[in-house]
Structures are given as structure tokens and as C-alpha cells.
Amino acid sequence: MISTEIKTEGVAEKERIERRQRRRRTRDRECHCCGRTTPFSWTCRCGFAICQECMNENVWGLSCNGITWHCPECGQQNGFGNQ
């Protein structure tokens, strides 16, 4: 009886880890500016995505304080993750 409980707990832990990995898995998104597919892009909740290279070129128009950026599609503020 004890061995099945341990096995069940081990299976549950494995399933929890798999769910966490699926949730953290990033998708390669297409940049709305240049059209390239990159492994990392800044994304808004509305679905707008911009690659790092385009963000560096356009940060002057998308951010006024270097902490947040303004989505040109929906107008929401998004963080750079530096605070």
C-alpha cells in the first residue's frame, strides 16, 4: 500500500512538472515590423509581437521611460521586465 502511494505521488509530481514546462514553453512568433520569426519577441496581451532588433530600433517611439513600452496596436502599457 505504501509503495503505490509513493508511486502515485511520483506520477503526480511528474505531471505537475510537465504542465509547468508546457506553460513556460515559448512560441516562435512572427515580428509585426520585419516579418521574421524569432525565438524571442516582446509580446502584448493583444497578440502584437516585435523582435528584439526591431524593438531596439523603435524603442524611441514605443517607450518614454525605458521601463515600459506602449503597444501600437491596442495602446496597452507593457513592462520590459527590468523593475
Domain that holds residue 29: 2-79
Helix (H, G, I), strand (E, B) or coil at 34: coil
The Cα 81–Cα 16 span in angstroms is: 26
pTM (predicted TM-score): 0.64
| Residue 76 exposure: Cα atoms within 13 Å on the Cβ side | 10
Amino acid identity of 68?
T
Summary mean pLDDT of the chain: 83
Give how many domains the chain has, as a whole number: 1
Burial classification of residue 49, based on how many CB atoms lie within 10 Å of its CB (0-12 exposed, 13-18 middle, 19 or more buried):
buried
Provide the CATH number for the domain around residue 60: 3.30.40
Over residues 57-81, the pLDDT tens digits come to 999 999 998 899 999 999 999 998 7
Q: 56 near 71, Cβ under 8 Å?
A: no
